[in-house]
Amino acid sequence: MSLIDDFLFEPIEAWEQLPADIVLGDVAGIAVDSKDRIYLFNRGAHPVVVMNRDGGFLHAWGQGVFTNPHGASIGPDDSLYLTDNGDHTVRKFTPEGKLLLEIGVPGQPSPSMSNVPFCRCTHTALSPTGDIYVSDGYGNACVHKFSPDGKLLKTWGKPGTREGEFNLPHNICCDADGFVYVADRENHRVQVFDADGTYLRQINNLHRPCGLCITGGPKPHVLVGELGPYMAVNHATPNLGPRVMILDNDGKLINRLGTEKPGTTPGAFVAPHSVALDSQGDLYVGEVIANDWAAVFPGTPRPETLRRMQKFKRIKS
């Protein structure tokens, strides 16, 4: 691992200390609020599990609300935005789970590739002014911009590989200046736009960017959770992920976490789907390991016990 810019991490084994009746499913989304409470948006019986940064369990909520948890993000007031690609909604909650806003109609998707919200939306991001951006990725190929009260302001994007086009926009973030970063997963890139959707640039040299988070301040660093190759033609090829990449704002590689091939040992990954940082710079990585096991390890029986997330402590050089 590299010591450049202090982006050196070590895994913390068995970080989460959960009660016996709280069993995590795949951790599709992770968000961290201003008090360093960690929200694990997962596909278990308790969809929102809230932890402190030491791994202590605080509470859980969301039972019976969600169809397929997918993305989680935090607003400046610590409101939690949860994107459900199974019922085509974005919901805003208080940290305790009170519903404040719902965008989309549960169970009523828009027509595929219609650019109408939503058809299996993937993730949500908040601008510095409170506007809401949603990547609409599995059934659409676009980004929607909403006002803070949920009014649709703008939609941009279409299927394709050129600038401003998407092939599964899977994750989205805003930086402190209001620029919008979109993990364009199957185009193997992160595209960057201004607040109105004007294409600015792209970060390449990635493999299936899935999870996405950025640091604060001007010219932030970009952290990307990459999925590995699932196709037979390159399934056994090493050095294609899964891993977590740490890049500067121009796409220069600073560090990367993971191993040459998928694995279940501490520090290795199977399917890193969500990444988040706390105020101390520690890193949290959620995995959809049960969902993707058969694609990553074809023909191999899935273990009964699976690690759904990892915490990495940031080491200062």
38: nearest Cα among 20, 19, 59, 23: 59
Kindly report which listed range (16-20, 129-133, 169-173, 303-307) carries the lowest average pLDDT score: 303-307
CB 244 within 8 A of CB 257: yes
Number of domains in the chain: 1
pLDDT given at position 178: 96
* Local confidence band at 163 (pLDDT 50, 70, 90 cut-offs): very high
Tokens for 262, please give them.
Answer: 């998928």
Task: Read off the CATH number of the domain in which 200 is found.
Answer: 2.120.10.30
Residue 256 backbone phi and psi in degrees, to 5: -150, 145
pLDDT given at position 147: 98
Question: Is the predicted pLDDT of residue 286 greater than 70, yes or no?
Answer: yes
pLDDT given at position 285: 98
Torsion (CA) 48, 144, 128, 167 in degrees, nearest 10: 80
pLDDT given at position 87: 97
Give me the mean pLDDT over the 275-294 stretch. Answer: 97
Q: pLDDT tens-digit profile of 116-139?
A: 999 999 999 999 999 999 999 999
Give me the mean pLDDT over the 289-301 stretch. Answer: 96
Give the domain extent around 42.
Answer: 4-315
For the chain, the 3-state helix, strand and coil shares in percent, each to the nearest 5, are 5, 40, 55
Give me the mean pLDDT over the 93-122 stretch. Answer: 98
Q: pLDDT tens-digit profile of 211-235?
A: 999 999 888 999 999 999 999 999 9
Question: Is the predicted pLDDT of residue 1 greater than 70, yes or no?
Answer: no
